[in-house]
């Protein structure tokens, strides 16, 4: 399916362009607006580890591909879709297809919540009207923009983001010094420098496993990987991981600046607190534009990846209509938060992780009851989470899924495409 696009894509998407496209997908409203939630809940180290989880997952994915026989000849548009069609059948295929579409709902919910947060803070417009206008604009962009246009938009976004996240902390620390920031945080928020509870290690491990499961089963990531030269894919993933880790440190420095001068109001808007109170004016406007670009580029890629999943445009537009109705229903009926959505879908990602590794990176056959193991793992994990806490529930889902998936997948088969 990619062959109909211009040679520009294959000629230019080497390591540098591959890094830009991958980063543009994963630097979204989630990273920019939910990271402070993890920081306030668990301290600076947890906040850093939360944002580093995606970077580490890129490196792990690159390592998996480095040990496999991944080549462009193995797929037409997505190695994930290709492998699912080759190795799955019956209920396995139907249930995994359903999960494949469900992951898109998480991404849409997070971006819609991000838009609502920005609307409440910076725009004097009812949230519902803003979301409706945003969705209409997004549908028009999806209709009018080519793949090449989306790639250029991603380049613009990443360039602006790098400039802002690197410039702000360097400028501020050179101007005011780092000691004032450190002493201010020790005075007003000393708990952020310490482990707050005995579950901190469990938090690190569970978040990393859930994010790894999300990355390995992300339709947009595999869609973009298919545009990168096969020999450059692993290098692009490793480079994306390293760069995202560096951006994480810069982002944490900005959060520290936002916190050091006193108490905060809503921790979801620490960055905007910094921009309003410390550096108002141009930087406030620039950060708003960057968040909008992050949300738009993420959703445009998600829409293109989803469109390739459907055999006809008619089915794709039916899916979009159902998705929009579901988004509005959830948004109007529930008090949604970004971390709440992340924790909810984490049960799916962490239960899918063992299955996804077996599916993509081994030549073992997939047992006909693998789908049932995933569902049971999710249900047991949710029950444990409701009885005790979410982290214990996620741990239970992962352990159960691991044990039974690796017990079932015992037969090695010969596959010419692996």
Task: Please check the confidence at residue 189 and state whether its pLDDT lies above 70.
Answer: no
pLDDT digits (tens, 9 = 90+) for 10-34: 434 567 777 888 888 888 766 655 5
pLDDT over 60 (residue 384)? yes
Split at pLDDT 50, 70, 90, the class of 166 is confident
* pLDDT reported for residue 6: 41
Range name among 203-207, 257-261, 272-276 with the lowest pLDDT average: 272-276
Per-residue pLDDT at 194 exceeds 80: no
Look at the block and give the residue holding tokens 């579901």. Answer: 326
At a CB cut-off of 8 Å and minimum separation 6, what does 308 contact?
A: 1, 77, 78, 81, 223
Quick check: 411 and 365 in contact, CB under 8 A? yes
* Residue range 90-110, pLDDT digits in tens: 999 999 999 999 998 999 998
- Return mean pLDDT, the chain: 79
Instruction: Match 């690197």 to its residue by tokens.
Output: 166
Phi-psi region of 408 (alpha: psi -120 to 50; beta: other; left: phi over 0): alpha
pLDDT value at position 115? 85
Cβ neighbours, 10 Å, residue 171: 12
More confident residue, 62 or 48: 62
Greater model confidence, 184 or 298: 298
The pair of structure tokens assigned to 243 is: 């760069």
How many CB atoms are closer than 10 A to CB 179? 9
Average pLDDT of the segment spanning 362-368: 86
What's the residue count for the chain?
A: 418
Residue-wise pLDDT for 173-184, tens only, equals: 666 666 767 677
Binned at pLDDT 50, 70 and 90, residue 4 comes out as very low
Higher pLDDT, 245 or 352: 352
Q: What residues have CB less than 8 Å from 139, skipping those under 6 apart? A: 320
Q: Which residues pair with 364 in a beta bridge?
A: 412
Mean pLDDT of 275-297: 73
CA dihedral over 339, 342, 344, 346, signed as positive or negative: negative
Q: Is residue 236 a contact partner of residue 4, using CB atoms and an 8 Å limit? A: no
- Give whichever of 144-153, 160-169, 172-181, 196-205 has the largest mean pLDDT: 144-153
* Residue 197 predicted with pLDDT over 60: no
Asked whether the predicted pLDDT for residue 69 surpasses 80, the reply is: no
178 Cβ neighbours under 8 A, 6+ residues apart: none
Residue 364: phi and psi, rounded to 5, are -85, 150
pLDDT band at 232 (very low <50, low <70, confident <90, very high): confident
Domains and CATH numbers, the chain: 2-408 (1.20.1730.10)
Sign of CA dihedral 50, 56, 61, 62: positive
Neighbours of 344 (CB within 10 A): 15
Residue 12: the pLDDT is 43
DSSP for 371-396 reads: HHHHHHHHHHHHHHHHHS-HHHHHHH
Confidence of residue 3 (pLDDT cuts 50, 70, 90): very low
Please name the residues in contact with 371: beta carbons below 8 A apart, sequence gap of 6 or more. Answer: 91, 92, 94, 95, 96
Question: Between these two residues, 352 and 157, which has the higher pLDDT value?
Answer: 352
Q: 230: which residues sit within 8 A by CB, 6+ positions away?
A: 70, 71, 72
Compare 332 and 100 and report the one with higher pLDDT: 100
| Phi, psi for 412 (deg, rounded to 5) | -90, 130
pLDDT at residue 265 in the model: 53
Q: How confident is the model at residue 125 (pLDDT cuts 50, 70, 90)?
A: confident
Q: Which of 102, 108, 100, 55 is nearest to 80 (CA)?
A: 100
Q: How far apart are CA 220 and CA 87, in angstroms?
A: 20
What distances in angstroms separate CA 148 from CA 3, 101, 144, 304, one per listed residue?
14, 25, 11, 12
Higher pLDDT, 332 or 302: 302
pTM of the model: 0.86
Q: Does residue 292 register a pLDDT over 90? A: no
Tokens standing for residue 355: 């299955």
Q: Is the confidence at residue 299, as pLDDT, over 50?
A: yes
Average pLDDT over residues 39-53: 70
Q: Note the pLDDT of residue 417.
A: 45
Given a cut of 80, whether residue 163 has pLDDT beyond it is no
∠ Cα 375 381 386 (to 5°): 130
Q: 217 is written with which tokens?
A: 């089963």
Does position 36 have pLDDT exceeding 70, yes or no? no
pLDDT exceeds cutoff 90 at 187:
no
Please list the alpha-helical segments (H only) found in 177-265.
179-188, 200-216, 219-225, 233-259
Residue 72 in contact with residue 230, Cβ under 8 Å? Answer: yes
Structure confidence at residue 32 (pLDDT): 57
State the alpha helices, DSSP H only, in 68-126: 79-87, 90-122
H-helix or E-strand containing 318?
Answer: helix 313-333
């Amino acid at each position: 399916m990619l062959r109909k696009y211009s040679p520009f894509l294959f000629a230019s998407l080497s390591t540098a362009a591959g890094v830009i496209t991958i980063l543009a997908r994963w630097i979204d409203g989630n990273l920019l607006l939910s990271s402070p939630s993890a920081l306030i809940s668990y301290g600076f180290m947890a906040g850093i580890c939360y944002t580093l989880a995606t970077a580490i997952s890129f490196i792990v994915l690159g390592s998996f591909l480095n040990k496999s026989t991944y080549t462009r000849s193995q797929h037409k548009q997505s190695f994930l879709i290709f492998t699912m069609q080759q190795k799955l059948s019956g209920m396995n295929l139907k249930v995994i297809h359903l999960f494949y579409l469900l992951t898109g709902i998480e991404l849409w919910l997070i971006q819609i919540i991000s838009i609502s947060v920005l609307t409440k803070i910076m725009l004097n417009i009812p949230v519902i009207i803003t979301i409706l206008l945003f969705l209409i604009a997004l549908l028009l962009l999806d209709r009018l923009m080519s793949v090449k246009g989306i790639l250029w938009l991603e380049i613009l976004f990443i360039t602006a983001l790098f400039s802002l996240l690197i410039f702000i902390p360097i400028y501020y620390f050179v101007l005011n010094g780092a000691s004032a920031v450190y002493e201010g945080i020790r005075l007003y928020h000393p708990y952020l420098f310490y482990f707050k509870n005995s579950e901190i290690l469990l938090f690190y491990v569970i978040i990393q496993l859930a994010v790894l499961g999300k990355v390995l089963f992300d339709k947009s990531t595999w869609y973009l990987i298919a545009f990168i030269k096969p020999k450059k894919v692993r290098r692009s993933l490793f480079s994306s991981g390293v760069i995202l880790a560096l951006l994480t440190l810069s982002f944490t420095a900005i959060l520290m600046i936002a916190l050091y001068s006193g108490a905060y109001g809503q921790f979801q808007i620490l960055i905007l607190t910094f921009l309003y109170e410390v550096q108002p004016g141009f930087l406030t406007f620039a950060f708003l534009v960057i968040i909008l670009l992050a949300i738009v580029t993420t959703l445009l890629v998600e829409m293109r990846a989803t469109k390739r999943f459907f055999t006809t445009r008619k089915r794709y537009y039916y899916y979009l209509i159902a998705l929009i109705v579901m988004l509005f229903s959830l948004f109007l009926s529930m008090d949604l938060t970004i971390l709440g959505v992340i924790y909810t879908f984490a049960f799916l990602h962490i239960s899918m992780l063992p299955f996804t590794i077996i599916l993509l990176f081994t030549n073992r056959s997939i047992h006909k009851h693998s789908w049932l193991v995933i569902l049971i793992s999710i249900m047991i994990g949710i029950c444990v989470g409701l009885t005790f806490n979410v982290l214990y529930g996620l741990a239970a889902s992962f352990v159960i899924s691991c044990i039974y998936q690796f017990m079932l997948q015992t037969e090695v088969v010969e596959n010419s495409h692996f």
